[in-house]
C-alpha cells in the first residue's frame, strides 16, 4: 500500500515540475523504482530502524513533536484552499471584508458566473480552453515522442548538436519571445478574433519538441535488446517505434499528455499577448482579469467560484493520471 501511494505521489510531482519547464532528471530513478516493490518493503523495515534503540519516552516525545509540526504545517498548507472554497460561496461578493471567512453563504456566485456572460463569458472561456487543450495535448505528445525516440534510439549526425542547441534555446527567457511570437502570428494573419484559438494551439504545441528530455530519459531505461529482437523479426524503425517503444512508454505518455493538456489552463502570459478581445479569452486570462482594479469590486467572489471550477477538473485529472500510471507501471517493462 505504501509503495502504491509513493509512486503516485512521485508521479504527480513530475507532472508539476515539468509543467514549470524543468528537466526532471530524477525521473529515471523514480520511474525505475516503480517495479521493485519487494525490495522497497524490505528496506522500509530497515530505514528508520535506528530510533528503535532509543528509550521509549524520548521516542514518544519525538513522535509527538513531529505530529505537532505536521499538523501546523498541514493547516498552513490547506488554509488558502479552504479559504478559496468558502469564499466561492460567499453571499457578499466584495473584496477585503472584515472577517477572514465569509459569514453568509449562497450559490449566487456560481449561478452568476455561468449566466451573467456580458462582461466575462466564463462558459465560453471554458470551452475555448478545453478545445485548445485537447489539440495541444495530441500534437505535443506526438512531437515529444518522435523527438525523444530519435534522440534515445537512433544515432545520426547532428544528434548531439541538436541536443545542445535545444539546451541553449531553453536558456533564453521565454518571455522574451512572446512579443515576437505575436508579430509573427500577426504576419500570418492569425490574430483576428476568430483565429486566436488556432494561434494559441500553434504556439503552445509548436515548441513541444524541445521538451523531450524527460521522455528521452525514460526511453533510455528501456533495454535496447527489445529493439534488436524486433529488428531481427524484420521490423522497420517506424515499426519499432510504434509497436515496441510507444506501448512501453504508456505511463510517460499519460504524464506528457496531461502536462500538455494542463498548459493552456495555466498559462496566461502568451494568452494575454495574443487574445485581445473578451470572447477569445482563456480561463487563466479571464480569472486574472477578474482581479484587475476595474473588475475586482464585482467579480471577487465569482473569481473564487471560477477558481474552484478550474481546480476540480484539474484535480480529477491528476487522480486519474496517478491511477493509470500505477496500473501500467506494473506491467510495462516486465513483459
Interaction residues for another protein, span 2-31 (CB under 8 A): 2-3, 5-7, 9-10, 12-14, 16-17, 20-26, 28-30
Minimum CB–partner distance for residue 115 and another protein (Å): 22
Write down the H helix ranges in 88-195: 108-115, 122-153, 159-171, 178-187
Contact between 106 and 89 (Cβ < 8 Å): yes
Q: Is residue 214 within 8 Å of 252, Cβ to Cβ? A: yes
The b/e string for 176-210 (b: 16+ C-beta within 10 A; e otherwise) is eeeeebbeebeeeebbeeebbbebbbbbbbebbbb
Angstrom distance (rounded) from CA 309 to CA 188: 34
Q: Is residue 207 involved in binding another protein (CB under 8 A)? A: yes
Dihedral sign, Cα of residue 275, residue 276, residue 281, residue 286: positive
For residues 134 and 222, which CB has a smaller minimum distance to another protein in the complex?
222
| Binding window for another protein (CB under 8 A); candidates: 114-122, 126-134, 219-227, 250-258 | 219-227
Q: Which of 335, 184, 194, 211 is nearest to 273 (CA)?
A: 184
Q: Read off φ and ψ for residue 105, nearest 5 degrees.
A: -120, 145
- Minimum separation from the CB atom of position 121 to another protein (A): 19
Q: Single out the segment in contact with another protein by CB under 8 A; choices: 110-118, 129-137, 189-197, 209-217.
A: 209-217
| Grid cell at residue 225 | 535488446
DSSP state of 47: T
Select from 106-114, 116-124, 284-292, 323-331 the region that touches another protein (CB under 8 A).
284-292
Residue 49 phi/psi, 5-degree rounding, is -80, -20
Closer CB to another protein, 27 or 280, in the complex: 27
Which parts of 234-263 interact with another protein (CB under 8 A)? 236-238, 241, 262
- Candidate residues 56, 118, 180, 335; the one interacting with another protein per rule CB under 8 A: 180
- Retrieve residue 115's grid coordinates: 449566466
Q: Is residue 156 at the binding interface for another protein, with CB under 8 A as the rule? A: yes
Sole residue written with cell 524541445 = 210
Q: Interaction with another protein in 301-330: which residues (CB under 8 A)? A: 303-304, 307, 310-311, 314-315, 318
Cβ neighbours for 155, distance < 8 A, ≥ 6 positions apart: none
Residue that has been written with the C-alpha cell 532509543 in this structure: 54
> Of these, 269, 276, 279, 297, which contacts another protein (CB under 8 A)?
269
In angstroms, give the least distance from the CB of 79 to another protein. 9
Residues 118-147 that bind another protein (CB under 8 A): 143, 146-147
| Residues between 41 and 60 with contacts to another protein, criterion CB under 8 A | 42-44, 46-52, 59
Give, in order, the Cα–Cα distances in Å from 99 to each of 90, 149, 297.
Answer: 12, 56, 17
Cell reading at 127: 470551452
Q: Residue from 136, 200, 287, 329 that binds another protein (CB under 8 A)?
A: 287
Which residue in 111, 159, 243, 276 binds another protein (CB under 8 A)? 159
CA gap 303, 126 in Å, rounded: 14
Q: Closest approach of Cβ 186 to another protein, in Å?
A: 8
Of 131, 134, 195, 210, the one binding another protein (CB under 8 A) is: 210
Q: How far is the CB of 278 from another protein (least distance, A)?
A: 19
Binding test (CB under 8 A) with another protein, winner from 181, 190, 253, 305:
181
Name the 3-class secondary structure at 105.
strand
Residues 56-115 that bind another protein (CB under 8 A): 59, 62-63, 66-67, 69-70, 73-74, 76-78, 80-81, 83-84, 95-100
Which one of 113, 125, 150, 254 is in contact with another protein (CB under 8 A)?
A: 150
Tell me: does residue 35 bind another protein (CB under 8 A): no
Amino acid at each position: 500500500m505504501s509503495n502504491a501511494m509513493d509512486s503516485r505521489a512521485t508521479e504527480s510531482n513530475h507532472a508539476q515540475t515539468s509543467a514549470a519547464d524543468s528537466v526532471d532528471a530524477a525521473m529515471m530513478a523514480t520511474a525505475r523504482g516503480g517495479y521493485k516493490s519487494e525490495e522497497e518493503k524490505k528496506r522500509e523495515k530497515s530505514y528508520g530502524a535506528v530510533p528503535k534503540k532509543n528509550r521509549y519516552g524520548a521516542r514518544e516525545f519525538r513522535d509527538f513533536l513531529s505530529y505537532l509540526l505536521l499538523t501546523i504545517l498541514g493547516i498552513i498548507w490547506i488554509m488558502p484552499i479552504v479559504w478559496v472554497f468558502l469564499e466561492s460561496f460567499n453571499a457578499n461578493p466584495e473584496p477585503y471584508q472584515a472577517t477572514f471567512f465569509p459569514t453568509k453563504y449562497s450559490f449566487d456566485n456560481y449561478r452568476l458566473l455561468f449566466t451573467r456572460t456580458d462582461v466575462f463569458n466564463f462558459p465560453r472561456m471554458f470551452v475555448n480552453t478545453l478545445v485548445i487543450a485537447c489539440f495541444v495535448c495530441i500534437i505535443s505528445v506526438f512531437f515529444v515522442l518522435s523527438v525523444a525516440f530519435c534522440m534515445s534510439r537512433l544515432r545520426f549526425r547532428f544528434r548531439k548538436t541538436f541536443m545542445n542547441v535545444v539546451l541553449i534555446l531553453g536558456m533564453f527567457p521565454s518571455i522574451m519571445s512572446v512579443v515576437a511570437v505575436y508579430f509573427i502570428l500577426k504576419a500570418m494573419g492569425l490574430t483576428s478574433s476568430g483565429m486566436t484559438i488556432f494561434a494559441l494551439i500553434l504556439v503552445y504545441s509548436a515548441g513541444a519538441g524541445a521538451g523531450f528530455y524527460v521522455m528521452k530519459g525514460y526511453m533510455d531505461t528501456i533495454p535496447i535488446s527489445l529493439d534488436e529482437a524486433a529488428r531481427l523479426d524484420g521490423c522497420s524503425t517506424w515499426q519499432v517505434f510504434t509497436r515496441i517503444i510507444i506501448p512501453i512508454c504508456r505511463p510517460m505518455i499519460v504524464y506528457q499528455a496531461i502536462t500538455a493538456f494542463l498548459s493552456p489552463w495555466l498559462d496566461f502570459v502568451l494568452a494575454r499577448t495574443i487574445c485581445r478581445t473578451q470572447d477569445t479569452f482563456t480561463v487563466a486570462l479571464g480569472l486574472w482579469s477578474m482581479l484587475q482594479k476595474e473588475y475586482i469590486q464585482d467579480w471577487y467572489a465569482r473569481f473564487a467560484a471560477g477558481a474552484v471550477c478550474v481546480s476540480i477538473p484539474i484535480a480529477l485529472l491528476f487522480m486519474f493520471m496517478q491511477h493509470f500510471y500505477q496500473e501500467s507501471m506494473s506491467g510495462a517493462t516486465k513483459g
